[in-house]
């Protein structure tokens, strides 16, 4: 039985509340790592609003999700694949979408600066997150995540458990001249996903145990066709908490993407713990469209938080809202569990809450029409990449992470 104070960390409410505790700590001047220049919030909002209007002049902004990356280079790859599903019913289409989104998101940690993916059909070469998306889509199309050759467009537990590094490297075109960060960690993550699904047939199905089983598990929980976004995240955190190789363990409980920070002073076993669940939240954002395809309205989107990753966090550092107390060499890598990185990530979550209102005001939109899922897309992620490219050749973030392919 998981102690209730640790179980409570598996929620977006805990991510937000504890990140704001860290922000309060920094604003009080108690941090040796960063200060926050609150006068810069307006300038950051101006920049994000400008980037958003340029990318989406009509402000018809889609969700920030893996589905955007599948269209890298202006090629509608998912639409083309979906066009081959004639005769497949609505729920099975949604299950296929969930299958693809889950493996693609879990493979979406930082690729590194050197890796490239060449797509023969289009002649395009794509990099970073978009490259990982395209590579994972083609691997999915090839049936590499299915144990049944007759059903290639599926991700199932036996195939994931059997996946090895050589297979992933082949599909992702990895070689001495094309290195991909964290191949062993990525494979371990998918192996563990297979094992976790096999152990939780209540969430992933007792026939073909697959990520798409979430559709069948959660649809009955939709009231009048409405499902809170946090319910999707909580199901993921419940079912997948055991998969993270580098996840924090407290009292034998696997907590996943949780860091330690001295600002969290509470009188129980969760003292010092700051949950982030970045990949799980990114996955939740990427499951909005599959659930909508199943006929469900996903609601209360802003119960989720901004994603505490290096594009959003880098934006706030590069535009001097978050200010390092000492210069940070962008080439020096820092451990993801160091207090400095935990603090940076927590500040990103908390300050994005403040930034959201300021950007909405500038765009003339409200929270219903411009939730975090659209702010990130419009938005902060693109703005973070853009300002990084202006400040540093190649566009690396201002603070480098020593990641294993399973967090960022």
pLDDT digits (tens, 9 = 90+) for 126-156: 998 899 999 999 999 999 999 999 999 999 9
H or E stretch covering 111: none
pLDDT category of residue 182 using cuts at 50, 70 and 90: confident
Q: Which has the closest alpha carbon to 211: 254, 174, 157, 163?
A: 157
- Any idea which of 132-136, 222-226, 263-267, 311-315 has the lowest mean pLDDT? 222-226
- Please give the span between the terminal C-alpha atoms of the chain, in angstroms, as a whole number: 29
As given in the structure block, the two tokens for residue 205 are 């199905």
pLDDT category of residue 210 using cuts at 50, 70 and 90: very high
Average pLDDT over residues 385-401: 93
Please give the pLDDT value at position 246.
66
- 313: Cβ contacts below 8 Å, ≥ 6 apart: 322, 344, 345, 347, 348, 384, 397, 399
Q: Which residue has the higher pLDDT, 245 or 222?
A: 222
- 166: Cβ contacts below 8 Å, ≥ 6 apart: none
pTM of the complete model: 0.92
H or E stretch covering 165: helix 165-171
**Is residue 320 predicted with pLDDT exceeding 70?**
yes
φ, ψ for residue 341, nearest 5 deg: -70, -40
pLDDT category of residue 404 using cuts at 50, 70 and 90: low
List, in sequence order, every residue forming a beta bridge with 387; answer none if it has no partner: none
């Amino acid at each position: 039985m998981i102690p209730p104070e640790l179980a409570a960390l598996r929620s977006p409410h805990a991510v937000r509340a504890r990140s704001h505790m860290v922000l309060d700590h920094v604003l009080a001047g108690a941090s040796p790592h960063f200060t926050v220049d609150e006068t810069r919030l307006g300038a950051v909002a101006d920049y994000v609003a400008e980037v958003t209007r340029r990318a989406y002049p009509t402000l018809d902004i889609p969700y920030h999700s893996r589905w955007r990356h599948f269209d890298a280079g202006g090629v509608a790859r998912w639409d083309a694949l979906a066009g081959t599903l004639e005769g497949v019913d609505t729920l099975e289409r949604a299950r296929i979408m969930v299958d693809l989104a889950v493996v693609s998101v879990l493979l979406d940690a930082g690729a590194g600066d050197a890796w490239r993916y060449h797509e023969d059909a289009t002649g395009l070469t794509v990099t970073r997150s978009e490259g990982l998306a395209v590579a994972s889509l083609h691997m999915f199309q090839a049936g590499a995540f299915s144990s049944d050759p007759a059903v290639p467009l599926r991700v199932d537990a036996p195939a994931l458990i059997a996946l090895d590094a050589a297979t992933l490297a082949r599909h992702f075109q990895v070689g001495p001249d094309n290195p991909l960060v964290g191949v062993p960690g990525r494979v371990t993550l998918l192996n563990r996903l297979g094992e976790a699904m096999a152990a939780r047939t209540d969430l992933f199905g007792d026939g073909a145990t697959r990520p798409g089983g979430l559709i069948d598990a959660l649809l009955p929980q939709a009231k009048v066709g409405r499902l809170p976004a946090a319910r999707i995240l909580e199901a993921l955190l419940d079912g997948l908490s055991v998969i993270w190789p580098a996840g924090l363990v407290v009292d034998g409980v696997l907590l996943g993407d949780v860091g330690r920070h001295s600002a969290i002073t509470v009188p129980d076993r969760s003292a010092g713990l700051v949950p982030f669940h970045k990949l799980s939240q990114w996955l939740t954002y990427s499951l909005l469209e599959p659930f909508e395809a199943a006929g469900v309205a996903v609601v209360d989107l802003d119960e989720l938080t901004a994603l505490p990753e290096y594009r959003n966090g880098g934006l706030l550092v590069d535009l001097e809202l978050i200010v390092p107390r000492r210069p940070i060499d962008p080439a020096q890598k820092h451990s993801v569990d160091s207090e400095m990185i935990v603090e940076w990530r927590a500040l990103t979550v908390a300050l994005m809450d403040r930034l959201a209102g300021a950007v909405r005001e500038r765009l003339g939109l409200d929270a219903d029409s411009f939730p975090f899922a659209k702010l990130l897309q419009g938005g902060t992620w693109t703005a973070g990449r853009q300002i990084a490219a202006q400040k540093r050749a190649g566009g690396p973030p201002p603070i480098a992470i020593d990641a294993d392919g399973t967090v960022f």
